[in-house]
Every structure is written in structure tokens, then in C-alpha cells.
Structure 1
């Protein structure tokens, strides 16, 4: 994912000494708890409609009048659904992780120009060199840049 030519940072739960397996279990448990505490509230709405102005032009040739009307196209009126509780559920998940000792940290993508340390099952302590490597299917691994 890219915004204005810059890779997107991830917001990642961190705590010292945690293993990847424990982080995954804690994250899953907190996602389940948040989903139970804040269930989806799917709302459906429709965008406003508007129409372009109409204009009629007539041409007279002898006894014949020919008129052409343009415009009058309808725009908008699309219906879409969204989960009104999505951001509240994300806050509930963050609250759960905080209760388990995690802090949320913003981690940048590892620059291609730098080598990285090996990805371990236990995370490196959070530092200015912490970054993530994107993987297949939206996955990622947190590691450190070597300078």
C-alpha cells in the first residue's frame, strides 16, 4: 500500500520479550473479545442524487421546428453499506491489548536499500531501527534494519 509515493506505516502491538506465537494468540483473543463487546452495526445509506441542467435548443426551417433537449442526467443515488461500529471495535481491541501489557507502536516499512536482521520467533526490542517486511497476502514480519 502506498500513499503519495510513501509506504504506509503499520500500527503494531509491542511488549518486551513476547514471542510471535504469543502475540498472535493475544491479538486473536482481543479481536474475539472486541467483536463480542462491540458487534457489527451494518447501516445502509444512499448518496444524494442530482441532475444536470436541461437545455432545449430549437431550430426553425421554413414551417418546421426541430428541438433538441440535452442534459437531465441523474447522478448519485448509489446505495452502500458500512459498519458503524468498526472504529469502536478497533478501540476495544487496542484497549484489550493494552490490558495485556502491549503498547501500540507505528512501525515503518523497511527501506529496500538496507539489509535487515533475521526474522526471529521472539521480537527484537523496539528501537529506531525497527521496521517491517511485507509478505504474501498482506502478511508482514517485524525486524530491524542493519546500518
Structure 2
């Protein structure tokens, strides 16, 4: 298997594991999710103004593969080595600063930055089946979990 295929397979494994890990969320006792989403958007926009996207293209160094030695009854010889391009990638050099600015803005608004486990399908289904569930925060507990919605916002589900 080539190094490219190994790297690609490794990337899929890492991405798969990342989708199982905890979700970062902002939490302030007594806030409803709509207010939290509004405050988060306000802080993200402010952070983007102060630390705009600054992509830089970078290049990995090339990799040299030495030739292999081949042997048969007539003797041994070494095949030629070869170089493989390391490839290029893009880095947003302001990403870390933008994240810090967003977290500082949210902290100034009274939010804590937490990581909560992802909700299981069973937890989501159980919550949806409860009639008239109040969306106002009832506090966090060990059973609290988070759901990443298709619009990019994260929702904290109260304990079930």
C-alpha cells in the first residue's frame, strides 16, 4: 500500500473519531439556546473583524525513497531511488487568535466554554417525544449532552 493511501486511510479514521468526541459549547445558567446562539454569532463576527482569515500556502518537504536491492542467482543490484513531492496545504494563521477573541468575548458576556458529550440518537428521540419541553436551561448535570445542528449551531440538551 502506498504512503498516499495510508495517509488517506489514517485521515478518515481521525475524522471518524473526531465526530465521536465531545462538542465544544458555550453555557450560561438561565439562558435559552436562542440567546446563546445570538451571542455566539455576535462574538464570532467581532472576532472575524479583529482577526480576519489570513490563509497562507505552505509546502511540505519532498521525501526521498532510496532504491531497493534486488538479488537473484546472478548477483545483486540496487534500483534507483526516487523523490515524492511533499504536497502543499493551506493554513489560516489567524485561526488561533480568532478563537481566543471569540472565547474572550463570550466570557465577557458571562459564558463558560465547556465540552459536552454528543447526544445519542436514543437521547434525542426521547427528548423529542416529551410534550411541551421547556427550552429554558434547567442547569447542567452529568447526563447533559450536545447536538451539532445542520446550521452549525450546537444545542445543549438537558438531562433526560
TM-score interval w.r.t. the shorter chain? Answer: 0.7 to 0.9
Structure 2 partner of 1:142: 156
Structure 1 partner of 2:29: 16
Deviates more, 1:47-56 or 1:34-43: 47-56
Aligned with 2:106 (options 84, 97, 103)? 97
Task: Sort the Cα spacing of 1:8 and 1:25 in 2 relative to 1 into closer, same or farther, 3 A.
Answer: same
1:1-147 matches, cutoff 5 A: 2-3=16-17, 7-54=20-67, 70-112=79-121, 115-116=126-127, 120-136=134-150, 140-146=154-160
> Structure 2: how far apart are the matches of 1:77 and 1:9?
32
Task: Sort the Cα spacing of 1:140 and 1:56 in 2 relative to 1 into closer, same or farther, 3 A.
Answer: closer
Judge conservation of contact 1:124–1:143 (CA < 8 Å) in 2: no
**Gaps spanning 5+ residues in structure 1: where?**
58-67
> Structure 1: how far apart are the matches of 2:90 and 2:157?
38
Which of structures 1 and 2 has the bigger CA Rg?
A: 1
What count of residue pairs does the alignment treat as equivalent?
138
Task: Sort the Cα spacing of 1:131 and 1:53 in 2 relative to 1 into closer, same or farther, 3 A.
Answer: same
What's the RMSD between the two structures over aligned residues? 3.2
> Structure 2: how far apart are the matches of 1:77 and 1:32?
35
Task: Sort the Cα spacing of 1:130 and 1:24 in 2 relative to 1 into closer, same or farther, 3 A.
Answer: same
Judge conservation of contact 1:18–1:123 (CA < 8 Å) in 2: yes
- Higher helix fraction (1 or 2): 2
- Higher strand fraction (1 or 2): 1
Judge conservation of contact 1:2–1:8 (CA < 8 Å) in 2: no
Structure 1 partner of 2:4: none
